[in-house]
């Protein structure tokens, strides 16, 4: 009799356990997996739409009776037209050169400025930190005219050097603010130990602090490169020659003429032009999230 009661109690407990596990799985599905899938679909929809549009012939593109989510007769003519009839590869190279140079200059200066403002004690440090961040909030629409005058005085108008000089003016403030916050998450005791052992400030930064700040530096690199790659106003104003144009400016001026949009090559150019930034985020997404989170919490 006792064995039968124990068996019934064990069976009831097992059913209760399975019910709790089932409820937890359902809760996990509705709270985690479904929202993640929805967000993923929303984020990937623009890329899918660009891909589908770049593969559709024009009759399908404007035929409302055909599903807009897949091409019936896919074609690669728009990619061939983009590569053969425009200077897409030259614009791509120009953008890559400008973005890489501006990112390198901005990150190096931001590391030095962020370290100085977060570690050194001097009068006006707080005010300087605030001014640096506020300067990032000034829109480029207010600055492109004085920046054009600066580029004219330096005699770099219509040259890529103009963009390399101007881009750090809006990249350095945010990167500095971000790295200031990340440097503050690193214990200062490590640097003090290095200083006691005979290292100077530069050596402490290079061999102690900087290796620990890699996620923050990677975040600054990704941010600066992405902003440089997609920048449009300065590229339009400071560079007018077709051979010196960056990718956003070249694509817009060549594939949009008045109210006429060449949607096929335009979507092909948008898809190919977004690949470098997508790959950069894909390889360094963990460092980006870690650096951005730490910088935001301590900044």
d(CA 294, CA 223): 15
> Residue 169: enclosing H or E segment and its boundaries?
helix 168-183
pTM: 0.82
End-to-end Cα separation, the chain, in angstroms: 69
In this prediction, residue 136 carries a pLDDT of 78
In this prediction, residue 293 carries a pLDDT of 59
Angle at 180 between CA 277 and CA 221, to 5 degrees: 15
For 63-119, the DSSP string reads: -TTS-TTS-SS---HHHHHHHHHS-HHHHHHHHHHHHHHHHHHHHHHHHHHHHHHHH
- Please, is 51 exposed, middle or buried when counting C-beta atoms within 10 Å of its C-beta (0-12, 13-18, 19+)? middle
d(CA 258, CA 18): 65
User: Which residues, in sequence order, are CB contacts of 104 under 8 Å at separation 6+?
Assistant: none
At 260 the three-state DSSP class reads strand
In this prediction, residue 297 carries a pLDDT of 47
- Write out the chain's pLDDT in tens, 299 residues: 566 655 555 666 667 777 777 888 888 878 888 888 898 889 888 889 999 988 988 888 887 777 778 888 888 899 998 989 889 999 999 999 999 999 999 999 999 998 888 888 878 777 887 888 788 788 887 888 888 888 889 888 889 999 999 999 989 988 998 888 888 888 888 888 888 888 888 888 888 888 888 888 888 998 899 999 999 999 998 998 888 899 999 998 888 887 788 888 999 999 999 888 888 877 776 665 665 555 444 54
261: which DSSP letter? E
Give the residue carrying structure tokens 């020659």.
241
Q: Are 265 and 82 in contact (CB under 8 A)?
A: yes
In this prediction, residue 96 carries a pLDDT of 94
Q: Is the dihedral of CA 37, 39, 41, 43 positive or negative?
A: negative
d(CA 135, CA 237): 21
d(CA 273, CA 1): 76
């Amino acid at each position: 009799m006792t064995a039968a009661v124990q068996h019934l109690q064990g069976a009831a407990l097992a059913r209760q356990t399975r019910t709790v596990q089932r409820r937890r799985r359902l809760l996990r599905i509705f709270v985690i997996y479904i929202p993640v899938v929805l967000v993923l679909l929303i984020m990937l929809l623009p890329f899918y739409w660009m891909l589908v549009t770049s593969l559709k012939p024009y009759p399908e593109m404007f035929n409302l009776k055909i599903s807009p989510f897949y091409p019936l007769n896919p074609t690669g003519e728009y990619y061939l037209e983009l590569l053969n009839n425009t200077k897409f590869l030259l614009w791509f190279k120009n953008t890559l050169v400008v973005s890489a140079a501006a990112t390198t200059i901005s990150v190096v200066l931001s590391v030095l400025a962020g370290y100085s403002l977060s570690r050194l004690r001097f009068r006006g440090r707080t005010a300087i930190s605030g001014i640096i961040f506020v300067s990032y909030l000034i829109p480029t629409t207010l600055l492109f005219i004085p920046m054009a005058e600066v580029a004219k005085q330096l005699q770099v108008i219509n040259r890529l050097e103009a963009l390399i000089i101007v881009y750090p003016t809006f990249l350095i403030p945010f990167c500095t603010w971000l790295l200031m916050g990340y440097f503050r998450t690193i214990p200062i005791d490590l640097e003090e130990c290095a200083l006691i052992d005979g290292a100077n400030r530069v050596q402490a930064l290079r061999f102690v602090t900087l290796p620990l700040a890699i996620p923050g530096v990677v975040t600054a690199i990704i941010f600066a490169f992405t902003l440089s790659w997609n920048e449009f106003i300065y590229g339009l104003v400071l560079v007018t020659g077709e051979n010196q144009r960056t990718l956003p400016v070249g694509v817009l001026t060549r594939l949009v003429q008045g109210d006429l949009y060449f949607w096929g090559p335009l979507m092909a150019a948008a898809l190919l032009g977004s690949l470098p930034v997508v790959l950069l985020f894909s390889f360094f997404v963990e460092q980006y999230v870690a650096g951005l989170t730490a910088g935001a919490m301590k900044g």
